[in-house]
Structure 1
Amino acid sequence: MENYNQTSTDFILLGLFPPSKIGLFFFILVVLIFLMALFGNLSIMLLIFLDTHLHTPMYFLLSQLSIIVLNHISIIVPKMVSSNFLFGNKSMSFIGCGVQSFFFLTLGGAEALFLTSMAYARYIAICFPLHYSSRMSKRVCVLMIIGSWIMGFVNSCAHTTYAFHVPYCQSRAINHFFCNVPAMLTLACMDTWVYEYTVFMSTILFLMLPFIGIACPYGRVVLAVYHMHSAEGRKKVYSTCSTHLTVVTFYNVPLFYTYLHPRSLRSPTKDEVLAVFYTILTPMLNPIIYSLRNREVMGALRRVIPRICTEKM
């Protein structure tokens, strides 16, 4: 068995892929998922840019969400599949681990708030359609985007600063596939109860409150839809809202379990499996859910593809 106790400042990421045929299968699967996420999110961004029918606040926010989730998966998977599996180099420098943790937490916090912004935009579009252009102006959208990034940045600074100022024991083997701060702090040579409290407060601020912020508008939407006379209108609204709720569920539920679960009851295997959902699967599902179940996106796709083919000819 490899000895992962060392005196250098490098961390060792034990990774997601075991050295076996099962590990090779997981490696191929993760690479395919990453390529699907890359192609899908880039396609969504390009489609929104090219089709003027999608130049609305909702799709502007969707393009920004695609940027976030694409960066989210890109800061983890390339390192995991290249260095950790292909080249067998499981080490990551102290600074490299800090950079990865910082961007992961920044993007994660921004994504949670972005999903709330999109729920608010849908609420306004359905319940106050005549006021949509004024309440969801370009200025409001920009403020939502800036606010989400700032809050994500502040949250990331707090967690990363704490995690990289605690003393670590001789063992630097992180039982995870990326530098996840809770997994890192299991190696700390001190009681981290302060951080556990901080994690709880951050979970309330960046997960629980945004989730409530999503649930309340959708509760109003359900009431509004209930009073609709048009069955076609109800079907369209339910289809539109269900796409967003699917993304929220895949993103929030694993995070709720991971960060609100007492550390004494956690297991590294469960944490890794749940982390796969919010770091790898959600970025792949984002373009699938928002395109295949969205008539406006499919319509834009039918308009843009013939135009591109005509221009090339």
Structure 2
Amino acid sequence: MASSNPTRKSTIYDVAKATGSSTATVSMVLNGTWARYRIREETANRILDAAQKLGYAVNMKARGLRLSRSGLAGMILPHYRNRFFAALAETFEVEARGRGLCPMVVGTQRDPTVEVSVTQTLLSQRVELLFIAGVRNPTPLNELCAAAGVPCINLDLPGDGAPSVVSDNRKGARAITDVLIEKLLAGGHTPDELILLGGVAGEYATEMRIAGFRDAFEARGLSPARDAIECCGYNAAAAKRALAKRYTTLGRLPAGLLLNSITAFEGIVQFTATLPLEAWKSAVVGCFDWDPFAAYLPFDVTMLRQDVETIISEAFRLAESYDPKDRSLILVPTGLGKMFEEAEQTKEFDR
């Protein structure tokens, strides 16, 4: 159906000929007035599809493809392997249904090609909004949504092409670092024995958490150790290897450990499980994520809980009053999880 002359731009006459429609009908579809003149949605979709195949630049929003509701709300996220992303998906589903929408959630495994493909598929299904969670470069996805006239909100990691709602990583990291430093001092250790493991160098969340970690030291007139920060990724095996190397070098565990994510924390637990009780019972450990099962571990654990409910609530608020020019960044405060208290409540519930 594409034009045989690659240098010639397609016109509404080409679209009319390809679809067997009048030029007036094609014009009304492309200028967004088709519903007003009672042109069938099936006809409008057929004309828009043909226009795209012919290379006619179609602005979905301006041309009114979305004048009728699909009732679908989309979300993409990296995976469901940790409680944070699983909670984002679950809360999104609840909030979408409460608004009369049918949620569609897809995991993309942090693969940029999959992210683009999934976004295109969800847009082809005419989702009424799209939440983009945990994508390191959401700009191409924001651009796809903008072309389709679909409100999109970046969650967890911000982007330049749409409004973003993320945890206040810097303040959260400072708060948990303060707690760990106090625990180290109470145990007779020095703050420079605290190390930060995990995350990806150059990534927004990791950089903000590193900044918060440094802030806590600076507020005390101190500096972390030269090798205190190690960005070994969001991977349990990598974190396990990083700690094993430090254990071999020191001949013991570091006195204090702050993990950048729950997956890095899993690697630490895997490694410490191979050691005798005496090796890790005095360790001070923190994690920038939350899981109630950590309350049952036989060493001291402090966890930072991200406010999933507020993140999703703010995202829907932005979507429902969507401004295509909005590039605001909303920071949602985190909180230190009352882990043992919640674990006790869980046990009571189970009884």
TM-score, normalization by structure 2? 0.25
Query: Is the radius of gyration larger for structure 1 or structure 2?
Result: 2
Q: Which of the pair has the greater relative contact order for Cα pairs under 8 Å at 6+ separation?
A: 1
Q: Which has the higher strand share?
A: 2
TM-score, normalization by structure 1? 0.27
Q: Which has the higher helix share?
A: 1
